[in-house]
Homo-oligomer: A and B are copies of this chain.
Amino acid sequence: MSLVIRFGVAMASSLLGKFDHLITRKGYKNRSEAIRDLVRSNLVEEEWKIGNKETVGTITIVYSHHFRELTDKLTGLQHQNHAEIISCMHVHLDRHNCLEVLAVKGRADKIKKIADTLIATKGVKHGKLVMTTTGESL
């Protein structure tokens, strides 16, 4: 745990009023927490731009398990990248469609590559990579 520092921010009351209104609606209990969240989001974005840092992501894909050999292919791809893919959650959306979410840890560029490959697989209907963080020193 690192030391907590308190610093002052100057803001026009009209701007502050609008911000307070927004964060209340989003469920924030106080202004400091909302500002820390903006700061952290900003830092996480930058971390991913650099590319060679170890970081954490989640990959969400939706596909139909009826698609010929798709389940096998996706399992194969995931095992080829077992060093980065920590864990996987599978949800049965309906009789046909599957939602799969993978938790991934590794270099930003490597994680992007894995996401690209999974999303490009024939039969995967939609996919998205979330670029998040190891949480260290944030």
Contact = CB atoms under 8 A, between A and B. Distances in A.
Interface of A: 1-16, 18-19, 22-23, 26-44, 46, 56, 58, 60, 62-64, 66, 86-89, 91, 93-94, 96-99, 101, 103, 105, 116-117, 119-122, 124-128, 130-138
B135 A62 contact: yes
20 contacts: A2-B15, A5-B11, A6-B9, A6-B11, A9-B9, A10-B32, A23-B120, A26-B117, A26-B120, A29-B120, A35-B38, A35-B39, A58-B60, A58-B99, A62-B138, A89-B103, A94-B135, A96-B135, A125-B138, A130-B130
B62 A56 contact: yes
